[in-house]
């Protein structure tokens, strides 16, 4: 095929991809089943990780919960077990034999510090031996230092990068080989809108999320280049989620109703919809797509003007001040 013919074919495929994307607005794609599939969720002990665990449990997936906090991870596991119990048919049902599903999902918990590759690799090995092959990997674990760059200890910057970005490398290297062998699996990167555009005061967090998104997109291209179409990738980029992680963050009061913090439940339900329909990327709310597009076409000075108008240029400062005060109070108590 000469280059002119190939150019026409490529042009047609690009136009057709737009048509298919537009069609999904009118004919929503069918959600796939994850019943019986093994799902690893990092950072499952609280926040979005716990909500992801609940959503996958309702769909009868076998869950493998990772968290650095054993107690909170076990709390999530108990919530999941309760969901499993509620799905069983009542003991007095006359047709309970017919209703009883062939597969009974289970939940497994592991204490794992995803910032340490040795911990990731050893935990992954235990999972593979005890549970079996992994079908879904939800890279959800994340932290924020809450310090201005020049006030942030080097150790906190390093830990933010390791948890929010480097951990994705370690989990992928642990589970991807078997996915490649079977040409089956799904990797989900829970990133942030702050990995698509930035604001002042959270340099380490933004850098870590940009890195996670870069890793995700590069791996997606690598899988396509290897013709591994059975392995799906989904990138989740929510706006600020009301989990307390960025408590105190504020924009201009007149603009606040237009950009409220997302309810965690809404964020996870939107992400689940994307995962179960093999959607490559989901930004919530949808206006984030527009903000990202504007960043690519507007001059930097225009972006600064827009930030100042919205109040996004210093929106993190109240959060940083709150974190600093909390840290100082804790240090004072320790000193006493």
Q: What is the mean pLDDT of each run of 10 residues along the chain (336 residues)?
A: 82 86 81 95 96 96 97 96 80 45 81 96 97 96 92 95 97 97 97 91 95 97 96 95 84 83 94 96 88 86 89 87 75 47
Residue 14 in domain: no
pLDDT at 331 (0 to 100): 52
Question: Is 97 among the domain residues?
Answer: no
Within 10 A of 182 (CB to CB), how many other CB atoms are there?
13
How many domains would you assign to the chain? 1
Q: Whole-structure pTM over 0.75, yes or no?
A: yes
Nearest CA-CA partner of 147 in 134, 133, 157: 157
Peptide linkage before 77 cis (omega within 30 of 0)? no
CATH number for 191: 3.40.50.720
Could you tell me the residue range of the domain that residue 281 belongs to? Answer: 31-84+104-329
C-alpha–C-alpha distance, residues 122 and 292, integer Å: 38
Q: What is the DSSP letter of 76?
A: H
Assigned domain for 45 exists: yes
Residue 15 falls within a domain, yes or no?
Answer: no
Report, as residue numbers or ranges, the catalytic residues: 205
Q: What are the phi and psi torsion angles at 63 (to 5°)?
A: -105, 135
> Hey, which bits of the chain come out as E strands?
38-42, 62-67, 107-111, 136-139, 185-190, 231-238, 281-284
């Amino acid at each position: 095929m000469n280059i002119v013919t190939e150019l026409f074919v490529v042009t047609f495929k690009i136009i057709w991809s737009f048509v298919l994307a537009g069609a999904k607005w009118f004919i929503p794609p069918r959600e796939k089943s994850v019943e019986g599939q093994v799902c690893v969720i990092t950072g499952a002990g609280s926040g979005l990780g716990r909500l992801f665990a609940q959503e996958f449990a309702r769909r009868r997936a076998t869950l493998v919960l990772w968290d650095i906090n054993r107690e909170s991870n076990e709390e999530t596991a108990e919530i999941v077990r309760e969901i499993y119990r509620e799905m069983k048919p009542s003991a007095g049902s006359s047709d309970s034999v017919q209703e009883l599903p062939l597969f009974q999902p289970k939940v497994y918990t592991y204490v794992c510090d995803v910032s340490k590759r040795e911990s990731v690799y050893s935990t992954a090995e235990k999972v593979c031996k005890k549970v079996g092959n992994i079908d879904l990997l939800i890279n959800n674990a994340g932290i924020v230092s809450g310090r201005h760059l020049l006030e942030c200890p080097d150790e906190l910057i390093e830990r933010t990068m390791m948890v929010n970005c480097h951990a994705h490398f370690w989990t992928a290297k642990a589970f991807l080989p078997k996915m490649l062998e079977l040409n089956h699996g799904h990797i989900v990167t829970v990133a942030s809108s702050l990995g698509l555009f930035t604001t002042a005061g959270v340099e380490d967090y933004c850098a870590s999320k940009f890195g996670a998104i870069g890793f995700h997109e590069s791996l997606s291209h690598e899988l396509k280049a290897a013709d591994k179409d059975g392995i799906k990738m989904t990138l989740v980029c929510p706006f600020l989620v009301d989990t307390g992680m960025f408590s105190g963050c504020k924009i201009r009061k007149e603009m606040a109703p237009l950009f409220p913090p997302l309810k965690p439940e809404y964020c996870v339900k939107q992400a689940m919809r994307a995962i179960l329909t093999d959607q490559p990327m989901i930004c919530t709310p949808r206006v984030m797509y527009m903000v990202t597009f504007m960043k690519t076409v507007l001059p930097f000075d225009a972006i600064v003007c827009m930030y100042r108008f919205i109040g996004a240029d210093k929106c993190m400062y109240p959060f940083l001040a709150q974190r600093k005060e909390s840290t100082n109070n804790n240090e004072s108590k320790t000193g006493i």
